[in-house]
Amino acid sequence: MLFQIDLHSTKPVYQQLVDQVKQAIATNRLRAGDRLPPIRDLAAELCINRNTIAKVYSELEREGLLYSRAGQGSFVSDKGTELSNRVRREQLTERIDELLTQARLFSYTQEQIEELIRKRLDRYYRNTNAPQESKE
């Protein structure tokens, strides 16, 4: 299946899985109506407790990305994929503005912050899809 966890990470297992499902939806590997693995199956596959998977699905349901039905399973909601473009852009815009605010607080000139951003961009996209495991 698509999911894997790192038991040594400081990030909680359920959070790792929530992020992975979100990423799968963001990259269209999971689409509206797609069914996710049954809680017990995925738990067995990842060798973790079924309650941890239940927490993952219920968190995603709380955020509106999934819906779950007893006896049927858990599915990617229409909402999840429809709303995503606008929400994504808003979230990124907010992050950028916070960054620029802090740069100004630090008396960075426009040229300085542009230079730093350019540097990180170059570094980030040097190897296209390599997993950047920077810090933990």
Tell me the closest approach of the beta carbon of residue 62 to a second copy, in angstroms: 16
Question: Should residue 59 be labelled a site residue for DNA when binding is judged by CB under 7 A?
Answer: no
Site for a second copy in 73-132 (CB under 8 A): 84, 88-89, 91-93, 95-108, 110, 113-114, 116-117, 120-121, 124-125, 127, 132
- Cβ-contact 25, 76 below 8 angstroms: yes
Question: Should residue 65 be labelled a site residue for DNA when binding is judged by CB under 7 A?
Answer: no
Burial 14-41 (b: 16+ CB within 10 A, else e): bebbbebbbebbeeeebeeeeebbebee
- Report how far residue 15's alpha carbon sits from residue 100's, in angstroms, rounded to the nearest whole number: 29
Q: How many CB atoms lie within 10 A of CB 76?
A: 21
Q: Which residues bind a second copy (CB under 8 A)?
A: 19, 22-23, 26-28, 84, 88-89, 91-93, 95-108, 110, 113-114, 116-117, 120-121, 124-125, 127, 132, 134
